[in-house]
Structure 1
Amino acid sequence: MNTSEATKKTADLYAKANDAFFDDDYDEALTLFTDLVKLEPENAEFLLKRCQVHQKLNHLECALEDGKKALDLLKQGSRSLLARAHLQLGITLHRLNLFTEAQTHLEQSKELNPNEKTLVTWLRKNTEKLPKIEEKLEIAPPTPAPVAPAIAPKVVGRHEWFQNDTFVTIEVFLKQVKPEHVDLNFFENSLSLSVKLPNGSNYSLELEPLAHAIIPKESTYKILSTKIEIKLKKAMVGIMWGALESDNDQGTTMAATSSVVKPKKDWNKLTSEVDEEKPEGEQALNSLFQQIYKDADPDTQRAMMKSFVESNGTCLSTNWSEIGAKKTEVKPPEANRGEIACRVIRTCRKLGIATVAVYSDSDENAPFVKMADEAYHIGPSIASESYLNGEKLIAVARKSGADALHPGYGFLSENADFADQVINAGINFIGPLPNNIRVIGDKIAAKVFITEHASSIPLIPGYNGTDQSVERLESEAKRIGILRKFPVLLKASAGGGGKGMRAVYETSKLKEEIEAAQGESLRAFGSDQLLIEKYFESIRHVEIQIFGDKYGNVYHINERDCSVQRRHQKVVEETPSPAVDAELRVAMTSAAVELGRKLGYVGAGTAEFILDEHSKKFYFLELNTRLQVEHPITEAISGLDLVELQLLVAQGANLKELGVLDNIQYKGHAIEVRLCAEDPDNDFGPRTGVIHKWSPADAAKYIPGVRFDTGVEDGSEISIFYDSMVAKIIVHAPTRAEAVRRMSAVLARTVIVGVTTNQKFLISIMNNPRFQSGTFDTNFIQQEKEHLFPVPHINDVKNSMVAALLFDWTIRRSQQVHLKNIQTGWRNVKWRNKRLNFAVNHGHELQIQYDYLGQPGNDKRHLFKAHVLDKDSAKAGEDVDELPIEIILFENDLGKEVAGPRGVQGCKGLLRCTIDGAQQHFYIAEDVKDINEKSVFVHDFVRGHQVELVKLDRLKSKSAAAEDDRVTPYTSSMPCRVLKVLAPSGTVVKKNTPLLSIESMKTEVKILSRHDGVVTMRVEEDQLVDARVLLCSVDDVKK
């Protein structure tokens, strides 16, 4: 390969790497920048780019290493790059909590490049642990909110610039600008702007020296209420500026007509004059772009739009209104939380749109709060007092100066009254029209509308009347159950996601389940209205993604199959559906588009159907008037960004003129799984806790088409107040079989430690032959229960037990101050082995017996042999016939402290050892509940999931304790809220009698008596309780 070819290859690779970074595909960016570093190991710029990618992926040690290498290479190099190296090192060290070193590098960066805006912005958001640096850099610290810790300060003003061959245009965004308060001067090589603001402060913009000279007398400006537009005439027409300001201390001197001019031209007049003439300059470029864009294929259109955003407007005109969009001037607040807030913010960043987030007490330190440009506290953790409080959300939008609001999904996203309130407040609602939501978002109103206006779309028989009394609902449910046979389905009219949904199989349970469904719906959506339908147990659940605009255009973006469900909530989604052929796809998408057109639907929506795979008949379920959780798989096969489309439609885009939804070329197969904090072995009950380690799969670096959408990070807490979803994992591959295989591999290599999840269950689904064949329905989990929930075997956790033993031994040994060679444990008697007892996932008890064999020579390895026994064998003191486990422990970094509840400290780290000749790795974290209980979370990289081992005091373990077997205690498996006491103290109950109902993560759970007896209730209604708290007990008087 000659020099020019090598240079071209490097340039192409660099462009692809930057594209991946821009698209938030950090794993792909890491691979590409690593290839670049291999090609040019001493290229400091490549190292600094890879350092940034490592920061995004939370690979902080790797980021630190790249930053230091770049700094060493730049000691005698570019002043600008050296400033960047110090900046990236400072940011990395700050995230590693090395604040003194971070401060040193940040100060050096500022000294080298005092105009670095990235540094100033970063310091304003992150200087809470660097109190001295604000003073040295003369940056005012953020003002703390009255009800919460300090948040990022509101930016009073900002500026953007773009250009064509003739002019450089600068837009300065401010609020309530008055012409008499503006002082603006042009010079040949500089610009000076000063604005007096309504609050008495001043905003100034000094650009000196400019990258090239300008002609002041031919430069103009215009003052609007929200911004100042400055149009600078280039002295050398045709020269494209690489930057607005020059690195040259003297600037570029050129002959110009005047040295200083206070411009007086009225830009409005200038514009009207130009409109009457033949288009030239910027207008000519606009017309050319529109023609190319209109005639281009979807991929080219997307590349053109991306080119504009990346270049900050230097490639194309910014007058989007003529091609169906309007450039957003101010930020939309995200009226939601968690992963969907992060998802919306990422697209806004890509489009150069500033964002505002709102957060409750529980979410104060959540990733979405840190990602947003501004964040406002809106109340307590209970959703009804924060995320469901529309008045507070609108108040934040007004306070922040936002002109648009994105509702995400859940909460108020499908509340027509809220959408009306937003619009009436003068704020753009990024979602369907309020009337769309009223007519079709409410499931009862939807059935009425379809019956009257779209009767060709088949409906499920049921009741959707306005009489919502418990008596009427019970009567109608009985009628449907008798007429069409039980079960019947109770469904919340105002929402989705399985909330407020109950399948009822017998008449005697109707009243109880109706009241429970109404309560759950009210708490989740603010409405307790229900509809009743005949429940089909063995069908496919297929939905169609639609998109409409304000001009009557409605498109579909194919189907998604969501048939794998538990508790009526989706677990796995995929597209295309294995059950839908070309003919059926046309029928279903046509029905969805017809419904959208009859409605005059605007924005993103999803028409959901149930499908009888054998007869090919389908029935309308509902139309969700929001973005769906599973939208990423549609994005994967279509190449679209649905959030970007939402923003464009909200700004007035005409989808037909935009053209991106015409003739979509669908590629491959995509699968999404929902990683949730729940316990599949206990009826998918929600679980809470602190995530000690979150590491998206390393496999994503090597496997193409992998995406993680999440709102958590190391240290995030999964609380009782919100949904249990931790992350969405999306895989895109050429075929379904390859997508399934990749998903299984990615799941097995994803590390989440500290919270019980459905990770192992999801792997079981991917490896299930019936799922792999694509022949399943909504009853799949129940039908495959034996295969998806295998009986636990001691071998499944044996290696995790060994890892827990080594972890315990290492930590106790590190805490010894003297005589470290004397072994810790129950005994130091050589002929008597030492023992540890653990309860596996709060259930089965196991004991590990081990002997420490010492260190061979001066080797740093430690040798052990061990046996793992179940509790009954350990209790009986039986001899172990099987061969002992041979163990080698290598040196490990296992002393890092992690804060537990009530300030108790635990430890975490990566452990490497050899078990019976096979070298293995485990990630382990200790969670100290209190001084009497310690949980050890072990992630086994071979089996691909976590095991929780509760360390038991052998003298007080369940197997050794003489418990009173007459009294059965009922404890909370997680933090929760007591909704209703159903059996007060003294109540005589039968087996399976409901004792009380509790709520966690918006899910209601009933506690049932396990035998006959007399109740002693320990809690009261509306009480918040921690995990493993005694709720009540039942005394079996017969014993």
Structure 2
Amino acid sequence: MRGARPPQGFGRVLIANRGEIAVRIIRTLRGLGITSVAVFTPSDAGARHVLEADIALQVTKYLDIEAIVGAARDSGAQAVHPGYGFLAENAAFARRCAEAGLVFVGPPAAAIDAMGDKIRAKATVSAAGVPVVPGATDSLEDWRDFPALIKPSAGGGGKGMVLVRSAAELPDALESARRTAVAAFGDGTLLIERYVESPRHIEIQILADTHGNVVHLGERECSLQRRHQKIIEEAPSPFVSPETRAHMGAAAVEAARAVGYVGAGTVEFIVDGSTGAYHFMEMNTRLQVEHPVTELVTGLDLVELQLRVAAGERLAFGQEDVRLTGHAVEARVYAEDPARGFLPSGGRVLVLREPGDGVRVDSGLVEGGVVGSEFDPMLSKVIAWAPDRGSALRTLDRALARTAVLGVVTNIPFLRALAAHPAVVAGELDTGLVERVLPELVPDVDVPGEVLAAAGLVFHAIPQGDDPWQVTDGWRVGERAWTTWRLESRHGVHAVQVRGLPEVSAEVRINDEKVAGCIRIGGAELAVTLGGRTERYLCARRGDTLWLGKGGEAWAFTRHLIGDPGDRPGAAVAGDGVVRSPMPGTVLVVKAQPGDRVSEGQPLVIVEAMKMEHTVTAPRDGVVSELPVQAGQPVDMDAVLAVIISEEA
């Protein structure tokens, strides 16, 4: 694409977004010779999209329409690309851009209105002959056809969707969904639909220009989900035949025509895996997170096509020209901890390694950057292409094994396990698969002994101070003494004994098993030799915490020399009654007050981070003696939320 003719009239384009999608749009703008303008909030001043853009302007927040439009005018931009999320499906933003003389790189505001409201969208496409899922929009409290799925009418991306299996669950589910809808989309309107058991989630990419041409670019399989959030996507679907593709593609084109759609969009379908029957679910009036898999199998740049359509150009190809070649698979790398129930994580990126040759990486990460709790937890996407599906999955696995983000807990090991699961390899997918096989994907395993030994050797090599008597080589008259290190990790506290000089010759003992070892450290590279066998790791240290990474896995250890491991339990335990925040975030709702009598498992506080809610419950029966937080208050991981004492106390 580099050197291609830029769309007429676009010399400068502002990107109203952040993270990996902003970086990805910058890449296309650079190839077309268009000046890129980034916006950023104070917490994002050192973000990758800011560093890579030609121009960067600070705004108050990404959802401030007037601030974004003002930045576009101040920068001299002719157009605004909204990316996805934030203002991408905001009709008011599209209208405001037009009022300011800016081209909105997306569909007309009327199309956003029609498809952005799920209730109206279902009525519109149903009138156009597209099959829809049975549901209701009024008197949701009276719905009795279970299981059912509650959805925010104005939402997208799975946010706020709640699965309900009985009438007893319905009131709380409606409350949670409505609260999320207001927070995420500013609109608490909900709808409810019959839930299709074991469905496949298949979506069709469409493109439409201002001259009446509409085409589809085939389908994407998005059935690998957890809590309605996509994890791994692929194109084409292993389930869809050429005949089904043609029928679903035609339905998607009709849905787009029904609202006068222009630009790139995605029509999402729920498909019964046993019968093949498909029903319209929603239309996303923007670029999708998973658009790279379509780009890799079609050879098209969707961002470039968006820009050309926005500039008034005709599509340069017709439906008969669209060809799907090979297979592409995408994995989303999230800042979350699968071992702790996929709670959002955060921290400073100490070491970053992303694969290069043979795969595509769309990433918003930069070494030294901070991953906080105010934005979505997705950090990057790793996308692999190969001539066939099996080769694409294997290429993806090798790429994930070469990905390392030390300083932040990620889901990379979970992604590797999922991509290699027999059902996934066989293409036997549905939206409930991940939940059913979750114990296989997140096994309860301890830290490998060789990793503990490596961490012990590294800590042993770090000087403890200038006092020669504090050197931990274990030298004594006669025989060297052992130094015991207590290493705290997410898996517990581990005792590692070391004696000798790690850079020359040392011994390591774990659970009475002794082995000779030594290490060589070169920057972020660590070579560890144990018993004559050498393993290589990435390593980074911040204070008393050491990170080690290998094969996509990462381990963090906090050192404690001989003494106790400290008081950092990381969660409430029934014995002490102290309730701690399981993640950094914001207190959304406080459901108890000091002096209340509570039962084990009773909700106390709801903490929100990275657009996810987590309900913190009472660890035991008792009385709330302390509750030092209030709604709207930011909290750190392990911050005390409440203290429960016994009735007797």
Name which of 636, 643, 648 aligns with 1:1026: 636
User: 1 CA distance for matches of 2:346 and 2:32?
Assistant: 35
Is residue 1003 from structure 1 mapped to residue 608 from structure 2 by the alignment?
Answer: no
Deviation (angstroms), 1:979: 1.1
Aligned to 1:664: 322
Q: Which residue of 2 aligns with 1:357?
A: 38
Cα distance, 1:523 vs structure 2: 2.2
Which residue of 250, 265, 273 corresponds with 1:613? Answer: 273
Tell me what 1:893 maps to.
Answer: 522
Tell me which moved more, 530-539 or 708-717.
530-539
Q: Would the alpha carbon gap of residues 945 and 829 (structure 1) be closer, same or farther in structure 2, given more than 3 Å must change?
A: farther
Give, in angstroms, the shift of residue 777 of structure 1.
Answer: 1.0
CA contact (8 A) 2:17 2:84 kept: yes
CA distance in 2, matches of 1:912, 1:992: 46
Structure 1 residue aligned with 2:532: 917
1:848 aligned onto 2:490 = no
Query: Counterpart of 1:438 in 2: which secondary structure?
Result: helix
Q: Which residue, out of 455, 469, 483, partners 1:804?
A: 455
Describe the superposition over 1:630-661 as per-residue Cα deviations: whole angstroms up to 9, x where unpaired: 00000001000000000000000111xx2276
Q: 2-side partners of 1:540 and 1:781: how far apart?
A: 12
Amino acid at match of 1:833: W
SS in 2 for 1:585: helix
State the Cα deviation string for residues 248-272 of structure 1 (Å, max 9, x = none).
xxxxxxxxxxxxxxxxxxxxxxxxx
In the other structure, the counterpart of 2:213 is: 553
Which of 490, 495, 510 matches 1:868?
510
Q: Which residue of 2 aligns with 1:682?
A: 340
Paired residue secondary structure (2:9): coil
The answer on whether the counterparts of 2:484 and 2:496 sit within 8 Å (CA) in structure 1 is: yes
Q: 1:600 to 1:329 in 2, by over 3 A?
A: closer
Q: CA deviation at 1:516?
A: 2.1
Deviation of 1:831 after TM superposition, in Å, equals 6.3
Q: 1:966 to 1:397 in 2, by over 3 A?
A: same
Task: Report SS of the residue matched to 2:463.
Answer: helix
SS of the residue corresponding to residue 812 of structure 1 reads coil
Contact 1:412 1:525 in 2 (8 A): no
SS in 1 for 2:256: helix
**Match status 1:950 vs 2:558:** yes
Please tell me whether residue 976 in structure 1 is matched to residue 585 in structure 2: yes
CA shift for structure 1 position 505: 2.6
**1:577 equivalent in alignment to 2:206:** no
For 1:510, which of 159, 162, 170 is the aligned residue?
Answer: 170
Displacement after TM superposition at 1:729 (Å): 0.3
Change (3 A) 1:825 1:650: farther
Cα separation, 2, equivalents of 1:399 and 1:1035: 58
Q: Quote the offset at 1:953 in angstroms.
A: 5.6
1:349 Cα deviation after fit: 0.8
Residue 950 (structure 1) shift: 2.6
1:720 deviates by 0.8
Can you list the C-alpha shifts for 1:421-456, whole angstroms capped at 9, x where unaligned? 1112211110001011111122111012123x21x3
Percent identical across equivalent pairs? 37
Distance 1:661 1:805 in 2: 61
Shift of 1:562: 0.5
Which residue does the alignment assign to 2:100?
425
Structure 1: stretches of 5+ with no match in the other structure: 1-22, 24-305, 310-324, 380-385, 466-471, 856-860, 870-879, 895-908, 929-933
Counterpart of 2:522, as a letter, is D
| Alpha-carbon shift at residue 867 of structure 1 (Å) | 2.5
The one-letter amino acid of 2:232's match is V
- Specify which of 375, 396, 399 is matched with residue 71 of structure 2: 396
Structure 1 residue 809, shift from structure 2 partner:
1.7
Residue 1027 of structure 1: how far off its partner (Å): 2.2
User: By how many angstroms is 1:826 displaced?
Assistant: 11
Which residue does the alignment assign to 2:122? 447
SS at match of 1:712: coil
Count, aligned residues? 646
SS at match of 2:577: strand
| Aligned residue type for 2:505 | L
CA distance in 1, matches of 2:185, 2:24: 22
The question of whether the paired residues in 2 share the 8 Å contact of 1:331 and 1:402 is answered with yes
Q: Is the 8 A contact 1:356 1:372 kept in 2?
A: yes
Matches within 5 A, 1:151-230: none
1:166 corresponds in structure 2 to none
Cα offset, 1:999, TM superposition:
1.0
Residue 992 (structure 1) aligns with? 601
Within a 5 Å distance, the mapping from 1:428-827 to structure 2 comes to: 428-451=103-126, 453-454=127-128, 456-465=129-138, 472-475=139-142, 479=143, 482=144, 484-486=145-147, 488-655=148-315, 658-659=316-317, 662-697=320-355, 700-701=356-357, 704=358, 706-793=359-446, 796-812=447-463, 816=466, 818=468, 823-824=472-473
In structure 1, how many angstroms separate the alpha carbons of the residues matched to 2:12 and 2:21? 17
Give 2:450's aligned amino acid: N
> How many angstroms apart in 2 are the aligned matches of 1:490 and 1:960?
38
The alpha carbon displacement at 1:786 in A equals 2.7
CA contact (8 A) 1:489 1:501 kept: yes
Distance 1:594 1:827, change over 3 A: farther
User: What is the one-letter code of the residue matched to 1:519?
Assistant: R
SS at match of 1:355: strand
The root-mean-square deviation of aligned C-alpha atoms, in Å, is 2.4
SS of equivalent residue, structure 1 residue 845: strand
Q: 1:626 deviation in Å? A: 0.2
Contact persistence 2:574–2:620 (CA under 8 A): no
Give the structure 1 partner of residue 12 of structure 2. Answer: 331
Query: 1:830: Cα distance to partner?
Result: 3.7
* Residues in 1 aligned to 2:603 and 2:330: alpha-carbon distance in whole angstroms: 36
Q: In the TM superposition, what is the alpha-carbon distance from 1:344 to its structure 2 partner?
A: 0.9
1:838 aligns with 2:513: no
Inter-partner Cα distance in structure 2 for 1:675 and 1:996:
28
Change over 3 Å in CA distance of 1:517–1:636 after alignment to 2: same
Contact 2:198–2:273, Cα closer than 8 Å, also in 1: no
SS of the residue corresponding to residue 498 of structure 1 reads coil
Superposition deviation, residue 721 in structure 1: 0.6
Letter in 1 for 2:613: E
Which consecutive unaligned segments of at least 5 residues does structure 2 have?
A: none
Would the alpha carbon gap of residues 980 and 342 (structure 1) be closer, same or farther in structure 2, given more than 3 Å must change?
same
Q: Secondary structure at the match of 1:674?
A: strand
Paired letter, 2:272: D
**What secondary structure, in the 3-state scheme, does the structure 2 residue paired with 1:369 have?**
helix
3-state secondary structure, aligned to 2:174: helix
Q: Which whole-Å CA distance do the structure 2 matches of 1:341 and 1:397 have between them?
A: 15
Q: In 2, distance between residues paired with 1:434 and 1:982?
A: 40
Q: CA deviation at 1:819?
A: 7.5
Q: Which has the higher contact order (CA 8 A, sep 6+)?
A: 2
Q: After superposition, what is the alpha-carbon deviation per residue over 1:537-584, rounded to whole angstroms, capped at 9, x for unaligned?
A: 411110000011111111000000011111110000001111111221
Quote how far apart the aligned CAs of 1:597 are.
Answer: 1.7
Q: Return the offset for 1:1022.
A: 1.0
Q: Summarize the Cα distance change of 1:886–1:426 in structure 2 as closer, same or farther, 3 Å threshold.
A: same
| Counterpart-to-counterpart distance in 2, 1:825 and 1:497 | 56
